[in-house]
Amino acid sequence: MRYLIVVPDGAADRPGGPFGERTALELADMPRTDDLARRGKVGDVQTIPFGIKPGSDAANLAVIGYDPAKDLTGRSPLEAVSMGIDMADTDVSFRANLVTLTARDGGAPSLDIPFEELVITDHAAGDISSEDGRRLIEYVDETIGSSDPANEGRARFYPGISYRHAFIVKDGAPTESGIGDVVNESPGYDLTPPHDVLDRPIGPNLPSDEGTEFILNMMKRSFALLTDHPVNAARRAAGAHTADAVWIWGQGRRPELATITEKYGVKGTVVAAVDLIKGIGLCAGLDAPEVKGATGTLDTDFGAKARAAIDAYEGGDDFVFIHVEAPDECSHQGDAEGKVRSLSLIDAEVIAPVADWLEANRGKTGEEYRILVVPDHRTPLSIRTHSSEPVPFVFYDSADQGDDATHAFTERSGRAGVRFSSGAKLADRFFGGGIQD
CA-CA distances (angstroms) from residue 239 to 53, 76, 191, 232? 35, 31, 31, 10
**In the prediction, which pLDDT does 252 show?**
86
Checking if the pLDDT of 187 tops 60, the result is: no
Residues in the chain: 437
**Mean per-residue pLDDT, 385-405:** 96
Q: 319-324 and 2-8: which strand pairing?
A: parallel
Confidence of residue 44 (pLDDT cuts 50, 70, 90): very high
Confidence of residue 190 (pLDDT cuts 50, 70, 90): confident
**Mean per-residue pLDDT, 407-429:** 97
Least confident interval from 18-27, 200-209, 367-376, 420-429: 200-209
**In the prediction, which pLDDT does 209 show?**
80
Query: Do the Cβ atoms of 46 and 390 come closer than 8 Å?
Result: yes
Query: Do the Cβ atoms of 371 and 1 come closer than 8 Å?
Result: no
Checking if the pLDDT of 131 tops 70, the result is: yes
Phi, psi of 419 (to 5 degrees): -105, 130
Checking if the pLDDT of 176 tops 90, the result is: no
Quote the pTM value. Answer: 0.84
Confidence of residue 172 (pLDDT cuts 50, 70, 90): low
**In the prediction, which pLDDT does 75 show?**
86
Phi, psi of 148 (to 5 degrees): -85, 115
CA-CA distances (angstroms) from residue 76 to 44, 57, 117? 28, 9, 27
- 375 vs 43: CA distance, rounded Å: 12
**Mean per-residue pLDDT, 338-343:** 98
Mean residue pLDDT of the chain comes to 94
- 376 vs 287: CA distance, rounded Å: 20
Q: 369-373 and 391-397: which strand pairing?
A: antiparallel
Domain ranges across the chain:
2-72+256-431, 92-252
Share of the chain above pLDDT 70, in %: 97
Checking if the pLDDT of 146 tops 90, the result is: yes
Burial class (CB in 10 A: 0-12, 13-18, 19+), 237: exposed
**In the prediction, which pLDDT does 1 show?**
97
**In the prediction, which pLDDT does 184 show?**
67
- 198 vs 16: CA distance, rounded Å: 20
Specify whether domain 2-72+256-431 bears CATH 3.30.830.10. Answer: no
**In the prediction, which pLDDT does 363 show?**
98
- 317 vs 267: CA distance, rounded Å: 5
Q: pLDDT tens, 276-303?
A: 999 999 999 999 999 999 988 999 999 9
Checking if the pLDDT of 235 tops 90, the result is: yes
**In the prediction, which pLDDT does 66 show?**
97
Q: For the chain, what is the HEC assignment?
A: CEEEEEEECCEECCCCECCECCCHHHHCCCHHHHHHHHHCEEEEECCCCCCCCCCHHHHHHHHCCCCHHHHCCCHHHHHHHHCCCCCCCCCEEEEEEEEEEECCCCCCCCCCCCHHHCEEEECCCCCCCHHHHHHHHHHHHHHHCCCCHHHCCCEEEEEEECCEEEEEECCCCCCCCCCCCHHHHHHHCCCCCHHHCECCECHHHCCCCCCCHHHHHHHHHHHHHHCCCHHHHHHHHCCCCCCCEEEEEEEECCCCCCCHHHHHCCCEEEECCCHHHHHHHHHCCCECCCCCCCCCCCCCCHHHHHHHHHHHHHCCCCEEEEEECHHHHHHHHCCHHHHHHHHHHHHHHHHHHHHHHHHHHHHHHCCCEEEEECCCCECCCCCCCCECCCEEEEEEECCCCCCCCCCCCCHHHHHCCEEECCHHHHHHHHHCCCCCC
